[in-house]
Amino acid sequence: MCQVRRHNHAESAWLVAGDAMYDVTSYMNSHPGGVESILRKAGGAQDCSKALLFHSKAGIKAWKKYKVGKLRDCKCDTEDSSIHEEMNQH
């Protein structure tokens, strides 16, 4: 997620659905719901699993071509958690 969070703007927009990441930057201007509907969820701000199910079969097929990978544990996330836990103990 630490990498995905960097892709939350019009020049680079990635969505997350479950453990999959999608680079939808090139599609944003064509999206029927508009650019803002994507940017609200970009960078992993929201899990788009439910949104994925909402789309038609053609829409779901389109999602697949934008898939860039799967989420995996990130050292940054574990360090952030450790820092928060440490702060809460003091």
pTM of the model: 0.76
Residue 34, φ and ψ in degrees, nearest 5: 90, 165
Q: What are the pLDDT digits (tens) for 63-77?
A: 889 999 999 887 775
- In Å, what is the CA distance from 64 to each residue of 20, 21, 78, 82, 85? 10, 10, 29, 35, 37
Segment among 18-27, 64-73, 75-84 with least mean pLDDT:
75-84
What are the residues whose beta carbons fall under 8 Å from the beta carbon of 19, sequence distance 6 or more?
70, 71
CA distance 33 to 3: 25
